[in-house]
Structure 1
């Protein structure tokens, strides 16, 4: 279970093998001659403070071990024995429950090679390892060394095909300065963060009602208010305890800021990765069944015991460890909610910042009761007694967790083009899940830890009625011509054109669209119409919300249909390979190569090169002569978008 949770937190770093100039390890390689046929290659590495590099002798089922290798097609030399390591030491891992062999601060690794051909003048060798702090990064570097002892700094030279295709991606935009985000975009971004904060806050309130947290409120508040005769001091300690709860949950989001800074496309890659979405689906299903009561998810008991012992230190440090103890011992109830928050926040538009906002809201909701009840201790008498209702809350959360899980399976299906979880099938699965929830609320089914329900309470009947109303709301979604379009759920089900029923085309709302920029540009020139360039994604929630709630407005729909050429570029279409003659190497600004093999590779790189942006949705208005007609627009409201489209049209007609 500990390994499962750890993989959930760190898998994002492994998916992309993130590595840029800001790596937390710097490696130099040199070569020493031993004899006419033997040489030692010496790797000297420096690590940032707090980071560890794992030895080749690291145990199995732990962090990835160091590996030195030569290319498969290498000739004229071979490795002799295992690398010799210096400056290693052992460190016990609470997660893996083994002693790990690591390098700290610095590392020296020596690998002997033997020449089988004395005429060669240089060799190539690969250094692979894993460095970890709160996140883990795979290091995969190739070195070319001269046998005279000097390191050859390879200059990456693109072939003519790559140069030509790279040049084709670059647009000669006019009025490019207009692309800078305006205040409306900034405002919408702030609103998006507030929404994530609010959802995190709601998640924290729900966590308060679970058996792991609720009974802790009166116990903890009483501890602070009664441990000293000075009431003001007791209140201060309770408020400080609440502050540390918020602080701890914010700390959990910080590693993802590091990942976000490594590469502007990394969180987009993470959020749209097929196998990571399947992993999130499996995790949330696993969490859901833990809420149902079939098993319990806990962090290692030794962690809680250590934090509990540390809390006896006293003073501010002791209060911090008390807050950390609460976070650990309540994990079986808070973990599934936090897992949903993590999975839902790791998107290209906001990423780590969204996660921090959500974690802040979650921590604040957990901390608030401890501070409020310390200030107003008489309120404790109004708290309901612990009982079976708390387990009911957990089971309800389990059903919600199960429904959310299918969103991630849907993302994988959309990106991989499996054509399995079509819109109507997705909605049908949700109907089945919420029918199960309704049956549970009305005590027709029960789970392992449920108390007998002798009589349905008014609140239970009311909530059950709401669930039935929601099922009725979902019902038309499985029909060919639904009565309503489920606008309240925009972004969760697959897009309307991804249907089991035959559609006019595979464009949003049946609009005519082009999924190749050159084709769309040629059409715009032929009919002399402006272009709406739509950077979107199969797994992009906000893209679906814009299409189903904003584009569907009649006046906006008419403008899109009649006045613009719509070019929709799917940046996460990473399962559809480009024809071989269109695949090439792209030299990034940091000096590293990116292989452009898929449709998604091409359009995500196209967006970054020309618009210095990697989020979706991202909308640009262009003339057929590539003149920027208005500022770029992102996720926004109906009125702002309508005005933006009209202003773009006016600018186009004026210039024309």
Structure 2
């Protein structure tokens, strides 16, 4: 109280000592423009206009710490009654250095909302506001006040406001001695101690939505996860060198992805035809140059969704599918890939100068074809570029591309290592044939990605496994010399003896074949989790049918469940708002899985980590689970379209809206990405990415549960 007196005295002195009247902030009422019926709960909206360099104190902080929070006094009127507390929309937390306490403020503009229940057809709501506006630049604080009013015309007959006793009967949890607000007494409206960024619907009129309205009054309208600063990675202390090495390690990881590793033989094939070591170095240079230019130039122009677009859109994936099939059958000996004669002549002419055209073409092909798998790994760099931060993404892309280019350059730099193999009908051709089969098998991953994103239903899991079984069987038979292909010539064809190394490779191949076969009946095949379509696409899943059926309880039928699914018989949601509403209803933390149809690492996490009994038990019993697919192409009704505040583009599909939610609210767009959210939509602990350590994932879930229990006592 003493602080309050001192503040008021100081303000009065400041006003008296000035020769001018300062009015740096104003509060106005926004007319209610929706049709209202008697009995409806309507929101009164108050907008604040604040001068530059000034800020007003909001609500939701300790009123005794010093600064004066906003208050709105509503005059008595039998035509309405107050519902809940005053809510601040999009205010910001701030530590007030003068009073040494945490407050909440608005700068530029502000908004407050108060719900009232309409009890009469024609209602005039009058009130007065009082607040405090300050400026650190001017070194001043000013009290500001004024009047507000609303005129509401409602349909229906007048109602009687419930008495305090009636309110207590309706709400048995109300403590003894508490008096419910009525229309017969003026009320000073303030907000609860903890506020959040919310947008609340204007009218609630259905009785069955009473619980939903109660949750809205307590936590606000569902808007999106809020990532507090202390849960973000502190990049201020991170040097560019450290970021460079992280990106370098990421590039090494990209080499073992399914659409990068098969590209190595293409490099070998190109550089075993007499190209110089200088060209090999040039090849690596072009890889680095192309990736760096992509990170620095394309990301700011097209935004962070570019990588996701190339990874999931049907046209690029069909192109990638065709490229792998063409390379595969060429390795089998159907034809030899050659450049057009005119282009070959130009390349030959440039060969005397270094042959950079052909080298650049090979480097650019590598970047394009492998981008479907490398895109998710560099997506965080693209987000940084899209936001205008160019130095860091360029350094990161440089580190990524350097490690990515080194193996390809080494293979190109020392082609003699493979030239020493038999050239005619020997190991060299056998290796090409085996790689050709592998390329054909991997080609269907690209087709599968497009199939899942657009829900074509052409390439289900068992179809993909059947293709793999046939291809692996052919590799094994080929190793056992059961058949020969056009490139197999010379003595090796006539010699039916099988060398021991070749026999051992055949044994490994047939062992892998046996491993694949149970997959036709639903076996999880964890070793191939990232390469195969998800298990829910399997039509005849004997494995799931023989297991004990365990599902977790959810609140209502999930939207999009006819074409989107969760692994391991988990029940959950595919729409953030629906899932958040259920989490509030069940008083459980929300587990958000930002995933994608084309996300290889997502499938691996589900197969290796989610399947662990400890993890699965927690997801099933302790959380409400929502899977948000960022690459789903299902177009939503036009009424659900919106323009992103992040990139000002209209988001029309499920995937675009989920991706925008992840980027705009969490400043991240790589998948998998796991986020634990509380009932007020604040993120509980630091999000979790791609890490197949089961113990660490369990710790992540337990830490979220502990934080949730501290904030929301059950």
- If the TM-score is normalised by the length of the shorter chain, which range does it land in? 0.5 to 0.7
Q: Does 1:472 align with 2:514?
A: yes
Equivalent in the alignment of 1:66: none
After superposition, the Cα gap between the structure-2 partners of 1:281 and 1:162, relative to the gap in structure 1 and judged at 3 Å, is farther
Check 1:174–1:364 CA distance in 2 against 1; reply closer, same or farther (3 A cut).
Answer: closer
Among 529, 539, 553, which residue is 1:490 paired with?
A: 529
Where do residues 536-551 of structure 1 align in structure 2 (5 Å cutoff)?
A: 536-551=595-610
- Distance in 2 (alpha carbons) for counterparts of 1:631 and 1:465: 46
Task: Give the corresponding residue for 2:52.
Answer: none
Is contact 1:198–1:361 with CA below 8 Å preserved after alignment?
no
1:632 corresponds to 2:687: yes
* 8 Å CA contact retained: 1:292, 1:395: yes
Aligned counterparts of 1:518 and 1:441: Cα–Cα separation in 2: 55
Give the SS at the match of 2:473: helix
Measured at CA, do residues 487 and 650 of structure 1 come closer, stay the same or move farther in structure 2, by a change above 3 Å?
A: same
Q: 1:572 to 1:190 in 2, by over 3 A?
A: same
Q: Deviations over 1:400-431 (max 9, x none)?
A: 11001111111111111122322122111110
What is the CA distance between 1:274 and its match in structure 2? 2.3
Partner of 2:636: 578
For the residues of structure 1 that align with 2:575 and 2:260, how far apart are their CA atoms?
A: 41
1:454 aligns with 2:491: no
CA contact (8 A) 2:529 2:603 kept: yes
Preserved contact between residue 247 and residue 400 of structure 2 (Cα < 8 Å): no
Within a 5 Å distance, the mapping from 1:324-403 to structure 2 comes to 340-347=369-376, 350=379, 353=397, 356=401, 359-369=404-414, 383-388=420-425, 389-403=427-441
Q: Which runs of 5+ in 2 are unaligned?
A: 1-198, 204-219, 383-396, 550-560
Note if contact 1:577-1:599 (Cα within 8 Å) is conserved in structure 2. yes
Measure, in 2, the Cα distance between the counterparts of 1:355 and 1:305. Answer: 34
Change in Cα spacing, 1:249 to 1:488, as seen in structure 2 (3 Å) is: same
1:613 to 668, 676, 685: 668
2:156 aligned partner: none
Matches within 5 A, 1:499-518: 499-501=538-540, 506-518=565-577
1:128-148 CA-to-partner distances (Å, cap 9, x unmatched) read xxxxxxxxxxxxxxxxxxxxx
1:431 and 2:483 equivalent? no
- The alpha carbon displacement at 1:303 in A equals 4.2
Distance 1:191 1:163 in 2: 51
The residue number in structure 2 matching 1:463 is 505
Q: Which residue of 1 aligns with 2:616?
A: 557
- Deviation, structure 1 residue 492: 0.9
Relative to structure 1, the CA distance from residue 242 to residue 208 in structure 2 (aligned partners, 3 Å threshold; closer, same or farther) is: closer
> 1:57-89: CA deviations, max 9, x gaps?
xxxxxxxxxxxxxxxxxxxxxxxxxxxxxxxxx
**Given the superposition, is the C-alpha separation of residues 617 and 432 from structure 1 closer, same or farther in structure 2, using an over 3 Å criterion?**
same
1:526 corresponds to which residue? 585
Task: Choose the corresponding residue for 2:452, options 391, 411, 414.
Answer: 414
Residue 20 of structure 2: aligned partner: none
Deviation at 1:161, TM superposition (A): 14
Matches within 5 A, 1:194-209: 194-197=252-255, 206-207=265-266
Distance 1:433 1:358, change over 3 A: farther
| Partner Cα separation in structure 2 for residue 251 and residue 423 of structure 1 | 38
Indicate if the aligned counterparts of 2:350 and 2:356 stay in contact, CA closer than 8 A.
no
SS at match of 1:566: strand
Greater helix share, structure number: 1
Instruction: Give the TM-score normalised by structure 1.
Output: 0.60
User: TM-score under structure 2 normalisation?
Assistant: 0.56
Cα–Cα, structure 1 residues 273 and 170, in superposed 2: closer, same or farther, change >3 Å? Answer: same
- Name the larger-Rg structure: 2
The aligned counterpart of 1:647 is: 703
Is 1:284 paired with 2:324? yes
Q: Which has the higher contact order (CA 8 A, sep 6+)?
A: 1
Within the candidate set 294, 297, 304, 1:264 is matched to: 304
Q: CA deviation at 1:243?
A: 3.0
Contact 2:591 2:624 in 1 (8 A): yes
**Count, aligned residues:** 448
Residues 592 and 626, structure 2, Cα contact 8 Å, conserved in 1? yes
CA, structure 1 residues 412+253, in 2 after alignment: closer, same or farther (shift >3 Å)? same
Whether the 8 Å CA contact 2:268–2:412 is kept in 1: the answer is no
The equivalent of 2:652 in structure 1 is 597
SS across alignment from 1:520: helix
Query: Which stretch of structure 1 is more off in the superposition, 440-449 or 645-654?
Result: 440-449
Superposed CA offset, 1:344-371 (max 9, x none):
334475498598367514433324427x
Identify if the C-alpha distance between structure 1 residues 279 and 207 changes in structure 2 by more than 3 Å, giving closer, same or farther. closer
Q: Give the SS at the match of 1:510.
A: coil
**Does structure 2 conserve the Cα–Cα contact (< 8 Å) formed by 1:170 and 1:610?**
no
- Give deviations 1:217-250, integer Å, cap 9, x for gaps: 8xx5xxxxxxxxxxxxxxxxx5x56533321333
Superposed displacement of residue 622, structure 1:
0.8
Q: What SS is found at the alignment partner of 1:444?
A: coil
- Name the SS for the 2:469 alignment partner: helix
Q: Does the 8 A contact of 2:227 with 2:682 survive in 1?
A: yes
Cα distance in structure 1, aligned partners of 2:658 and 2:513: 39
- Describe the shift of the 1:192–1:478 C-alpha distance in structure 2 as closer, same or farther (beyond 3 A): farther
**Cα deviation 1:107-141 (Å, max 9, x = unaligned):** xxxxxxxxxxxxxxxxxxxxxxxxxxxxxxxxxxx
Question: Equivalents in 2 of 1:357, 1:254: separation in Å?
Answer: 10
Per-residue CA deviation, residues 532-590 of structure 1 (Å, 9 max, x unaligned), is 1111112211111111111112222222122111111111111x2323432x2405445
Secondary structure of the 1:621 match is: strand
CA distance change for structure 1 residues 409 and 653 in 2, over 3 Å: closer, same or farther? same
Matched residue of 2:285: which SS?
helix
In structure 2, what is the Cα distance between the partners aligned to 1:169 and 1:358? 43
The alignment partner of 1:508 has SS state of coil
Partners of 1:533 and 1:620 within 8 A in 2: yes
> What SS does structure 1 have at the residue aligned with 2:538?
coil
With 420-429 and 403-412 compared, the bigger mean Cα shift is at 420-429
**2:484 alignment partner, SS class:** coil
Q: Name the SS of the counterpart of 2:627 in structure 1.
A: strand
Alpha-carbon distance in 2 for matches of 1:179, 1:419:
39
Q: Displacement of 1:511 after TM fit?
A: 1.4
State the 1:256 CA deviation: 3.4
Aligned-partner SS, 1:619: strand
Deviation at 1:305, TM superposition (A): 4.1
- Which stretch of structure 1 is more off in the superposition, 452-461 or 609-618? 452-461
Offset at 1:207?
A: 4.7
Tell me the secondary structure at the aligned position of residue 509 of structure 1: coil
